[in-house]
Amino acid sequence: MWAEPGKDERNISWVRRLWEALRPFSSDAVYVNYQMGDEESRVRAAYGPEKYERLVALKNEYDPTNLFRLNQTIAPSAT
């Protein structure tokens, strides 16, 4: 986290470069609470296709307007 929004691109860029450098040494597991909002593919990977589709079905039923979207969310099909 940083206080100056103008530094977003620079800070996000170096962290992503670091992650790419470390990736060969990782287990490729995913902890969804540490994901950014733009990493839907990694959130999908964390749950696997079958669980992810079940979670989407639940989201469609209980939160179709995506009210609870301020975290590493699973979007409903309609959004």
What are the tens digits of pLDDT across the range 33-68? 777 666 778 888 888 899 999 999 999 999 999 898
1-41 pLDDT per residue, tens: 789 989 999 999 999 999 899 989 988 777 777 776 667 78
pLDDT at 72 over 60: yes
**pTM of the shown model:** 0.59
Contact 72, 43 (CB under 8 A): yes
> What pLDDT was estimated at residue 16?
92
17: Cβ contacts below 8 Å, ≥ 6 apart: none
Domain residue spans of the chain: 29-79
Residues present in the chain in total: 79
CA distances from 19 to 3, 14, 48 (A): 22, 9, 21
Q: Estimate to the nearest angstrom the gap between the alpha carbon of 69 and the chain centroid.
A: 11
